[in-house]
Structure 1
């Protein structure tokens, strides 16, 4: 693409993205290699996506960016850091409290990220007449992490998440697909070496091998995407994790280079850092929606959330919480009632080490 006002379009784009508050930006062609497609196909064939049938339904668009938008020539990959100030695993040692994943301790990042993506897209259309753009976050069938790796933002670690030398494992990703033919950045080389901290930290053994995730055992999948009862052999491994899991992310040694996020909308809400399990279990539907207004937690609904809370209560080892569980044993939601009975029974006997 020709230079504009003496500057390459990639330099102008990078400058504008940083001005808009993104922490990382890179460019890639709107294509993915056969190794990505093969890995995705093997993931589906093994059934490791669990109940997430919507992933497989649009597999072709995931594997082929131009199948999602045939006119796309390039992808602008963008990262927004949400690195926490404090140790996100600290609440795991407080069994009467719930642990909510760092990304959900503030307002829904989709809104914040998409507003910045749209601002950059508007600037691109105005700055490069004749070009066209489309913006995506993780709500679209986009292979964000492989594209970010190709764009030089980082590499996919052994936990399958993106790792950045500057931001560790704490980057929200978004993309602008464009008809502009941008010069691609050099893909980032993997720098995990022999480290296996992320794999060793997983409480449910969700990694059958490095760089492979079985979502059916992943705490994030179980507490967010999975709609029915959580398998009993996994409930005791959840501890007090009631929405998502940060274990594999938090132990990555590259996080030592990450600075706490400076984005106001990503600062944690005090009531979401270490909420009391007893209070959360008492929420009815209206109370749940009010408590989690503006939070990504709201999307799973009261039933799944209270199910998670009751599993955490069952793992607490605190007999004082047994009446809370017993009080929900007759809940109209059968999944909630099942977890309530399990928790109450578990608190009548010693919790397994």
Structure 2
């Protein structure tokens, strides 16, 4: 489709307005030249820092070439949506940090306490694409939300949604980093937005706070050591030397975000989808460890947590319960009893981590 330059400019402005109406905090536009990101991606893959995330390597450098993924693509519409639950007050970072020292608490990454963001953003992005179609007729596009080989962070950075912090996550000056991102690849030569530039300065709080030292340097993350990877992406046993460093983080890790000074500006979600479910922001490990597979599937219906399955859920909680021994609860009768109840679990993975956890409490 060929549109005059003025019409394209008007359409770009409309797209941004429609995006706001659909619940996005910000919508911007980038070109598709990611040549500068290719070398870094290849080096990261060659070093094996993606761990068991084979999907990161399976498409090779196609990730940096949107037009190879979706032929005809010339622009990417990038969008971000805030996810910090509306009930969180201004002291949420202090409260989240304090929970890391409570041996009874199950710390679940804030983004995972509500509805699965993939479904929410994909539906809203599709609605945005539909609005464009109504305005101009048929055009080529494809919607993505962390669901295909797209380098969304470099694209978001190019479009001006923010800059990549030293922890590799995107940071926005007015909203911190507590937001989801999605993209629409389009064949429309829309005017592009300018990047914002980086504003981390000399701060390296995120590097210093990382419990497993997964951030090797500014912008360099070894996913194999990252707690989010270990508790979500890793399908096998959690390396024994890393288990004590995980603490009570049973699904994901927000440490590098809660410490970030820019997150004092984190914005609350405008959609109820990201409201906390099943009190996951204050749940205890023993309570969650007692869930049967049926209870896990029922409680986690529509949650991003469900995709790890009950087996890995128990694996993660067993590690957390074991670490309670070094958080002031060594030999706690309720914790030991909960672990012993799972000693005969049919999964070798669960049994292995339960025995490790019991050893932390009983000294075997």
TM-score (norm 2): 0.92
Partner residue in 2 for 1:336: 350
Partner of 1:26: 28
After superposition, where does 1:121-132 map in structure 2 within 5 Å? Answer: 121-132=129-140
The one-character-per-residue Cα deviations of 1:105-131 (angstroms, maximum 9, x if unpaired) are 011111111111000001111212242
Deviations 1:188-215 (A, max 9, x none): 2011110001111110000111100000
How far, CA to CA, are the matches of 1:250 and 1:6 in structure 2? 40
CA–CA distance in structure 1, aligned partners of residues 259 and 141 of structure 2: 37
What is the TM-score normalised by the length of structure 1?
Answer: 0.95
| Distance of 1:249 and 1:175 partners within structure 2 | 23
CA drift of 1:77 comes to 0.3
1:254 and 1:116, CA in 2 relative to 1: closer, same or farther beyond 3 A?
A: same
CA apart distance, 1:60 = 2.5
Stretches of structure 2 lacking an aligned partner (at least 5 in a row): none
How far apart, in 1, do the equivalents of 2:149 and 2:251 lie?
Answer: 23
Matching of residue 175 in structure 1 with residue 189 in structure 2: no
Q: Which residue of 2 aligns with 1:298?
A: 306
Indicate yes or no: 2:285 matched with 1:277: yes
Cα distance, 1:62–1:5 mapped onto 2, change above 3 Å: closer
Q: Note if contact 2:8-2:190 (Cα within 8 Å) is conserved in structure 1.
A: no
| Aligned equivalent of 1:239, options 243, 247, 267 | 247
Q: Is the 8 A contact 2:42 2:61 kept in 1?
A: no
Task: Name 1:157's counterpart in structure 2.
Answer: 165
Give the drift of 1:6. 10
Q: Secondary structure, in 3 states, of the residue corresponding to 1:233?
A: coil
Quick one: distance in 1 between partners of 2:98 and 2:65? 40
Quote how far apart the aligned CAs of 1:5 are.
7.2
Instruction: State which of 14, 17, 23 in structure 1 corresponds to 2:16.
Output: 14
Q: SS in structure 2 opposite 1:16?
A: helix
- CA distance in 1 between counterparts of 2:126 and 2:97 reads 34
Provide the residue aligned with 1:346 in structure 2: 360
Q: Distance in 1 between matches of 2:135 and 2:240?
A: 56
- CA apart distance, 1:330: 2.0
Residue of structure 1 equivalent to 2:58: 57
Shift of 1:259: 2.5
Q: Deviations over 1:141-183 (max 9, x none)?
A: 1111100000000000000000001110112000011110011
Which residue is 2:198 aligned to?
Answer: 190
Q: Is this contact kept in 2: 1:169–1:250, CA < 8 A? A: no
In the alignment, the residues of structure 2 paired with residue 104 and residue 92 of structure 1 have an alpha-carbon distance, to the nearest angstrom, of 17
CA distance change for structure 1 residues 6 and 169 in 2, over 3 Å: closer, same or farther? closer
Question: 3-state DSSP class of the match of 2:217?
Answer: coil
Distance in 1 separating the partners of 2:84 and 2:279: 19
> Offset of 1:295 from its aligned partner?
0.9
Q: Which residue of 2 aligns with 1:288?
A: 296
2:116 maps to 108
Kept after mapping to 1: 8 A contact 2:22/2:124: yes
Structure 1 residue ranges, 4+ long, deviating more than 3 angstroms after superposition: 3-7
Asked if structure 2 preserves the Cα contact closer than 8 Å seen for 1:307 and 1:335, the reply is yes
Q: Is the 8 A contact 2:165 2:200 kept in 1?
A: yes
The number of equivalent residue pairs is: 349
**Within 2, Cα distance between the matches of 1:4 and 1:121?**
20
User: 2:39 maps to what in 1?
Assistant: 38
Displacement of 1:256: 1.6
SS of 1:182's equivalent in the other structure is: coil
Contact 1:26 1:76 in 2 (8 A): yes
Q: CA deviation at 1:268?
A: 1.3
Report the more deviating stretch, 182-191 or 128-137.
Answer: 128-137
Root-mean-square deviation (CA, aligned residues, Å) is 1.6
CA separation in 1, counterparts of 2:9 and 2:300?
46
Q: Which of the residues 233, 248, 259 maps onto 1:251? A: 259
CA distance in 1, matches of 2:69, 2:9: 31
Following TM superposition, by how much is the alpha carbon of 1:271 offset from its aligned partner in structure 2, in angstroms?
A: 2.1
